[in-house]
Structure 1
């Protein structure tokens, strides 16, 4: 995976428990990106975490992300909030986009808390393209919601801020009833909010990005073989193993990030066999995500 060297130029609070990080390219221009994209951030504590880009795609000098301090942190957000200092050199990946903004005459954007990060550049791009766009931005309280003032200053009445400690939960059914015929809905935020959006809005109109995988049920895991076409090797994936771990332990190094099927870092090409896709991205034909997905056939052949 291609990496870029950056310097943490600025880390500043943007809400209660949320930091904005401004990363400046250390070796010239950074790779381009489009709204909805995210980067892998390699931390000095050997963890890699994914964060949505929330700055200006036209700015090739810097990337901006925002990080919520998760009370159940697995070491990423805690390190960033407590130990990561300005001036530190950090490696970041080339941006990837599993949440692209499709053309439409009208958009309804729904964001909850730190889920505002991929939505911010989408709203700006939609307005610049001449589309009608509305943002419903939800959070526990105004103090907990990043970038509220920035959004209001840039977009005025297009932004409807909904602090649930004052106004309760928003009425997604009412929002759905008012959708125009060509309106697309983009939604990012906590799991219960996304579940409510899926229940209220037509699936063909709704585009969702999850920070955590949705609950799913599958048949019990069974062992299978992975034939690696280029290296001419066969790796056994046990019922207790992930495909990602089995391949890595066999010396076939595959980069990974979330290990939950939401970031796309561990994508590989599938040559033959019937995969069982367990990711939340929606693997394209001939692709699969090795951290969570398995096989429905006795074996798979992959391009490794």
Structure 2
């Protein structure tokens, strides 16, 4: 049996990302409140390669930056597809996409980046809630092409609100669709109650679903679960001790490329300190969930506050998300 492609190395703040203005070549309704946008280069130039789990940033005309998972075919470099849910309590991002990005519109795009890469495995269990189905779609296709065993548990509020059901229908019994108004909450105990050594679990969706899946996977082998979040997880409250790197503590950051030393005072992020010093650093969410500002740590011990890195990646201390993470010591040396 063949395996899915090895995960790509995620771009970091020290690795320039592709950025271009793309055109909305197609716009369709994928479900109630969900649109699917197909983006192409205006000159039909090929777009950068990507692997399942990758996302792109949309630099919106209202000044906001939002990231969305690629949910099309990684083998098709002529177009990128994303699915966007209009969030009722939108802070301006999803509303702008729905209202302004009509067919033919132009939008500045940056990426792709991948913090949710599909690792090789004999078997996969995919769990998706609502718009969390978007990164899972290309993962399923990759697992199917590799001949791996897999199944999907897909939940949503109502059947009409669940996107891409027509595409998933082609996979038959491997897909279990459970609208909450018809079946209640997803039966996670049934699918996650017994740990499996040969299975990787990939989950994307709202925070209550992720928390429930994480709780049930505590008994699974280390590293078996990978999740992608829409919102940051709770971290140590500002001003409290987080092992020496609390928000109330100042520290300094040395930029290895220029030799410049920045002071990071209490309540200020490394990203903000860099911007104030005129250092250009790509970023998107500024909440520690997208990975755009991931930066290599050359010296020092970061105090991780992000929702991207795995436990093993945090332990290694090789990179950090400078929009939220701080330092456990008096100094960090970063590849900036």
| Bin for the TM-score computed over the shorter chain | over 0.9
* 1:299 Cα deviation from its structure 2 partner: 1.5
Dislocated runs of 4+, deviation >3 Å: 177-181
Residue among 286, 289, 309 paired with 1:259: 286
Q: What is aligned with 1:225?
A: 252
CA–CA separation in structure 1 for the residues paired with 2:303 and 2:37: 37
Residue among 79, 96, 99 paired with 2:113: 96
Q: What is aligned with 2:164?
A: 147
TM alignment of 1:236-255, pairs within 5 A:
236-255=263-282
Q: Deviations over 1:2-44 (max 9, x none)?
A: 3133111112211111111110122410001111111111112
| Higher mean C-alpha displacement, 113-122 vs 81-90 | 81-90
TM-score normalised by L of structure 1: 0.95
Q: What is aligned with 2:215?
A: 199
Q: What is aligned with 1:124?
A: 141
Secondary structure at the aligned position of 1:133 is classed as strand
Q: Deviations over 1:169-219 (max 9, x none)?
A: 122122123554411111100000000001112253211111111222252
Secondary structure at the aligned position of 1:236 is classed as strand
Q: Deviations over 1:131-173 (max 9, x none)?
A: 1111110001001111112211x21111110001111112212
Q: What is aligned with 1:71?
A: 88
Q: What is aligned with 1:6?
A: 22
CA–CA separation in structure 2 for the residues paired with 1:2 and 1:31: 8
Secondary structure at the aligned position of 2:282 is classed as coil
Q: Deviations over 1:194-246 (max 9, x none)?
A: 00001112253211111111222252412111111222211111112111111
Give the unaligned 5+ runs of structure 1. none
| Conservation of the 8 A alpha-carbon contact between 2:130 and 2:163 | yes
| Higher mean C-alpha displacement, 201-210 vs 45-54 | 201-210
CA–CA separation in structure 2 for the residues paired with 1:94 and 1:275: 25
Q: Does 2:229 correspond to 1:210?
A: yes
Q: What is aligned with 2:13?
A: none
Q: What is aligned with 1:15?
A: 31
Secondary structure at the aligned position of 1:122 is classed as helix
CA–CA separation in structure 1 for the residues paired with 2:258 and 2:209: 44
Q: What is aligned with 2:322?
A: 290
CA–CA separation in structure 2 for the residues paired with 1:107 and 1:267: 27
Q: Deviations over 1:262-283 (max 9, x none)?
A: 1111122222112101111115
CA–CA separation in structure 2 for the residues paired with 1:180 and 1:286: 30
* 1:67 Cα deviation from its structure 2 partner: 0.7
> Larger relative contact order (C-alpha < 8 A, sep ≥ 6)?
2
| Conservation of the 8 A alpha-carbon contact between 1:106 and 1:180 | no
CA–CA separation in structure 1 for the residues paired with 2:322 and 2:42: 32
| Higher mean C-alpha displacement, 118-127 vs 275-284 | 275-284
| Higher mean C-alpha displacement, 191-200 vs 280-289 | 280-289
TM alignment of 1:41-52, pairs within 5 A:
41-52=58-69
TM-score normalised by L of structure 2: 0.87
CA–CA separation in structure 2 for the residues paired with 1:130 and 1:236: 52
Q: What is aligned with 2:178?
A: 162
CA–CA separation in structure 2 for the residues paired with 1:240 and 1:234: 18
| Conservation of the 8 A alpha-carbon contact between 2:233 and 2:306 | no
Give the unaligned 5+ runs of structure 2. 1-16
Q: Deviations over 1:247-303 (max 9, x none)?
A: 101101111101111111112222211210111111564211110000111111112
Q: Does 2:57 correspond to 1:30?
A: no
Q: How many residues matched? A: 303
| Conservation of the 8 A alpha-carbon contact between 1:52 and 1:118 | yes
